[in-house]
Amino acid sequence: MTDRILTVRMEAHPADSNTLDRYEATGGYATLRKALVEMSPEQIRDEVKAANLRGRGGAGFPAGVKWGFLAPAEPRYLVINADESEPGTFKDRQLLERDPHQLIEGIVLSSYALGVNHAFIYIRGEYARPARRVQRAVEEAYDAGYLGENILDSGLALDVMVHLGAGAYICGEETALLNSLEGRRGEPRLKPPFPAVEGLYAKPTIVNNVETISNIPWIIANGGSAYDAIGPEGSRGTRIFSLSGHVARPGNYEVVMGMTWREMIYQIGGGIRDGNELKCWIPGGASAPWFTPAVLDEPVTLDDAGRLGSMLGSGGIVVMDETTDVVAAALSIVKFFAHESCGQCTPCREGATWLERILQRIVTGHGREADIGLLLDVCDNISPGLRWPPAQTTICPLGPSLVSPITSIMTHFRSEVEAMIRHAEPAGV
């Protein structure tokens, strides 16, 4: 049974897994070579659909279904979302730095399948080193004939460009990313139309995450059904989780989903640092509502996380131990979202900073009795009903995301917040 797909090469060949030589020597581009001759674009699309590969960017939408929405108009574009910015997440950085050709082969296969002749890799600006590695790999691929006018004499033409972001979390949202790639402010667009119908330059566009597309060569080499045989239903294939925070062994771990959270944190992550007690964790990036030890024995799957009121999101697991000031932790996350709010819609622009200031007041010892109700009501005006999956008064999901840490501490650690307020100095002194 396959238990790792994406990180095998880099683990076996730490010194040069990023190079074309090593990639080819370990079977790389053979799938492409074969597929261009033996498979039709439709067959590739069918395999990806059969794989039940769910997007690894955060929303978990099935990639094959997304591809099916691509409108026939031309030209069409493929954009790789390498704007990895969700706090707690650093898996794509490793894939970009350590195995860029795996991504590129995935891009060529996907472009062939989708009728795309121009693909972009949008890498966040702070990822200078990963961007250099990818750029070099792209150049190698051009030189070797895996990219360009007539790929491997198949007649397929594909240009790939690496585009650097410049510091804006919101560009991870796919329509904001497209605006950014068009040279605009990275503000999310209204949907519909969805990118598959009107995306980059208003043309049909597929936006996929780095990890999602890095899986494509394996899926085409081994078949969609082989991928669909890995892991529990609804969470097929392997997945890279980024473990960080107070865990003993932080890092990226490619695993087959379905183990319990206890196994994830205590076996894979090596338990809590310094032998401390686990207090809580964020299961899927800063946008996700937090889990507490009460769910330690629940399985790690997309659907179970959803059932329990959160999500696996971007795969970033942030562990907090008993020493954690959860109000300060929530403030850190709310401050992040306030900083990254694009500002176009009212509830997020105004609400994020307001929430940050209330939390700041509480953390610095100036909280008031009414602040708990106020926090929750302001949250409710951003994400009405404070339910899961969230409703939103905002254009994009950044609104509900900034609500998650607040509802989490209010649900699980309300007494800590109350105590902090109770011991506050009277306001104005």
Partner 1 sequence: MSDRITIMLDGRPVEVDAGVLLIQAAQDAGTYIPRFCWHPRMNPVGMCRMCLVEVEGPGGTMLTTSCTVPVSEGMVVHTASETVKKAQEGVLEFLLINHPLDCPVCDRGGECPLQDQTMAFGPGESRYVEEKRHFEKPIPISDLVMLDRERCILCARCVRFSDDIAGDPLIEFLDRGNYTQVNTFADEPFASYFSGNTVQICPVGALTATPYRFRARPWDLEAVESVCAGCSVGCRVSVQSSQNEILRLLGVDVEATNHGWLCDKGRFGFQHLAAPDRLTTPLVRGEDGELHEASWSDALDRAARGLAAIVDSSGEGAVAGLGGSRSTNEEALAFERLMRHTIGTPHLDAAMGDALDARLLAAAPRRGLIGDLEQASTVLVWGPDLREELPVLYLRVRRAVAELGAGLVVVHPRASGLDTIADHVVRYRPGEGGALLARLAAGDGDLAEVRSALDDGPVVAIVGRTGLTEDGDLAGAVAGFAAELPDASVLAVSRRSNLYGAIDMGLAPGMGPGRVGEDPGRDADGIVEGLRDGSVKGLVLLGADPAGDHPSGTAGDALSRAEFVVSIDLFINDSNRGADVVLPAAGFAEVEGTMTNLEGRVQKVNRLVPAPGQARPANEILADLADRLGGKWESSTAESLASDIATLVPYADVSWEALDRGTGGDGILARGGDVVYSVPTVSTSVGNGMALHLGRVLYDRGTALMMDPSLAKLTQKPVLHLHPDDASSLGVAVGDQVRVSGSDGSAEVDAAVDPSLSPGVVYLPFNLGVSVGSDPSVTVEKVT
Partner 2 sequence: MSWPDDVVERAEVMVAKYPESRSAVMPLLYLAMREDKGLTLDGMRQVADYTGLTPVQVESVASFYSMYKRDSVGDYIVSVCTSISCHLLGGDEVLEAVAEETGVPPGETGSDGRLSVEGVECIGACGGAPAVQVNYELVEGVTPDSARRLCRWLADDQPVVISSDQMQADFGGIRSFEWGPAEPGGATGPVPAFGPLGTEGQRS
Contact 264, 241 (CB under 8 A): yes
Q: Is 243 in the site for partner 2 (CB under 8 A)?
A: yes
Question: Among 359, 379, 381, 380, which Cα is nearest to 368's?
Answer: 359
Q: Is 140 in the site for partner 2 (CB under 8 A)?
A: no
Selected from 67, 90, 146, 194, the binder of partner 2 by CB under 8 A is 90
Beta carbons within 10 angstroms of residue 426's beta carbon: 7
> Tokens for 57?
């960017």
Strand partners, 206: 78
Nearer Cβ to partner 1 (168/264): 168
Q: Is 302 in the site for partner 2 (CB under 8 A)?
A: no
Supply the minimum distance, in Å, between the C-beta of residue 353 and partner 1. 4
Q: Which residues of 84-98 are buried (b: 16+ CB within 10 A; e: fewer)?
A: bbbbbbbbbbbbbbb
DSSP character at residue 200: G
Q: Is 126 in the site for partner 2 (CB under 8 A)?
A: yes
Selected from 339, 387, 414, 422, the binder of partner 2 by CB under 8 A is 339
In order of 26, 35, 36, the CA distances from 39 in angstroms are 22, 5, 6
Nearer Cβ to partner 2 (216/338): 338
Q: Which residues of 25-59 are buried (b: 16+ CB within 10 A; e: fewer)?
A: ebebbebbeebbeebebeebbebbbbbbbbbbbbe
DSSP character at residue 263: I
Supply the minimum distance, in Å, between the C-beta of residue 369 and partner 1. 13
The CA distance from 219 to 223, in Å, is 5
The CA distance from 372 to 130, in Å, is 43
Selected from 336, 354, 388, 413, the binder of partner 2 by CB under 8 A is 336
- Binding segment for partner 2 (CB under 8 A), chosen from 23-31, 106-114, 119-127, 409-417, is 119-127
Residues of span 156-175 touching partner 2 by CB under 8 A: 161-169
Partner touching 353 among partner 2, partner 1, none, CB below 5 to 8 Å by kind? partner 1
Nearer Cβ to partner 1 (240/421): 421
Question: Among 114, 121, 83, 107, which Cα is nearest to 204's?
Answer: 114
Nearer Cβ to partner 1 (275/373): 373
Q: Is 324 in the site for partner 2 (CB under 8 A)?
A: yes
Question: In the stretch 57-76, what mask flags binding to partner 2 with x, by CB under 8 A?
Answer: ------------------x-
**Alpha helix (H) ranges present in 84-127?**
91-98, 100-114
- Binding segment for partner 2 (CB under 8 A), chosen from 181-189, 205-213, 299-307, 387-395, is 181-189
Q: Is 98 in the site for partner 2 (CB under 8 A)?
A: yes
Q: Is 413 in the site for partner 2 (CB under 8 A)?
A: no
Supply the minimum distance, in Å, between the C-beta of residue 207 and partner 1. 21
Cα Rg, the chain, nearest whole Å? 22
In order of 58, 103, 203, 307, 336, the CA distances from 317 in angstroms are 13, 24, 36, 17, 17
Q: Is 186 in the site for partner 2 (CB under 8 A)?
A: yes
- Binding segment for partner 2 (CB under 8 A), chosen from 10-18, 206-214, 227-235, 381-389, is 10-18
Q: Which residues bind partner 1 (CB under 8 A)?
A: 168, 185, 190, 338-347, 349-354, 357, 370, 374, 378, 380-382, 384-385, 391-395
Question: In the stretch 193-232, what mask flags binding to partner 2 with x, by CB under 8 A?
Answer: --------x-------------------------------
> Tokens for 368?
């008031």
Supply the minimum distance, in Å, between the C-beta of residue 409 and partner 1. 20
Beta carbons within 10 angstroms of residue 191's beta carbon: 13
Partner touching 118 among partner 2, partner 1, none, CB below 5 to 8 Å by kind? partner 2
Q: Is 88 in the site for partner 2 (CB under 8 A)?
A: yes
The CA distance from 205 to 301, in Å, is 29
List interacting residues with partner 2 (CB under 8 A): 10, 14-18, 75, 84-90, 92-94, 97-98, 118, 124-129, 131-132, 135-136, 161-169, 180-187, 201, 242-246, 250-252, 282, 286, 316, 318, 320, 324, 328-329, 332-333, 336, 339-340, 342
